[in-house]
Amino acid sequence: MSVTSKEVLPAHDAPLRVAVLVGSVREGRQGRAVADWFLAAAATDDVLDLDVIDLAGLDLPLVLPGWGGTPSPAAAAALRDISPRLAAADAFVVVTPEYNHSFPASLKNFIDWHYTQWQAKPVGFVSYGGLGGGLRAVEQLRLVFAELHATTVRDSVSLHGPWSGLGEDGTPRDATVCAGAVKGMLGQLTWWGRALRAARAERPYAG
């Protein structure tokens, strides 16, 4: 899904390329419904170009190559389309549930298959699940992305029951409050995305 302006804009004003990662691969998951709701809420922002990467459509091995090694043919095939899209992104939004006070193993595996693609870019979060709304998963992901030289934005979108949890269709029960949270998070993500994009263009990140 893309949301772009028809105008030809200067590079610093070009739509921000945001990769939206759907982190859950569990059977019966609500992650895709949550992601679709988020995309609809974000579609009103014409400065974003949204690219959805659903981990359920990937088959990444758990075994990573050794330092300096090359991925197996199966891993290389799985990464051939995805890795360039991460590299091209200016920012990321991670849609994640909370599993046992943390985030899904599928999401950690996907993150670990990449490194430079995350560097000097902002990350926002949409989380869901239980009374905590996935916030413990988000707090742990902040530590992971800090190690990868990414910048996580302060505000996140948290869908937690019973107040703003998910209905049977996977959309928030309190759509107004949650839409406001999306607007706030994307405002921060857009600011950081533009600032870091300009910084990387002026001086490549050497972390």
143: domain range?
11-202
34 lies in some domain: yes
Q: What's the pLDDT at 164?
A: 55
Q: Chunked in runs of 10, what are the mean pLDDT values of the chain (207 residues)?
A: 46 88 93 93 90 95 88 91 97 96 96 97 94 93 98 94 68 85 97 98 91
d(CA 169, CA 203): 45
Q: What's the pLDDT at 8?
A: 46
CATH label of the domain that carries residue 103: 3.40.50.360
59 lies in some domain: yes
| Overall domain count for the chain | 1
> Which of 200, 202, 174 has the alpha carbon at shortest distance from 41?
174
pTM (2 d.p.): 0.90
35 lies in some domain: yes
114 lies in some domain: yes
Cα angle 141-85-136, degrees, rounded to a multiple of 5: 10
Q: What's the pLDDT at 3?
A: 43
190 lies in some domain: yes
Q: What's the pLDDT at 161?
A: 65
d(CA 75, CA 42): 32
Q: What's the pLDDT at 45?
A: 77
State the greatest distance between any 2 C-alpha atoms of the chain, in Å, as a whole number: 49
2 lies in some domain: no
d(CA 119, CA 104): 22
Q: What's the pLDDT at 4?
A: 44
149 lies in some domain: yes
For the CA atoms of 28, 126, 101, 119, the dihedral, rounded to the nearest 10 degrees, stands at 120
Cβ 57 vs Cβ 79: under 8 Å: no
6 lies in some domain: no
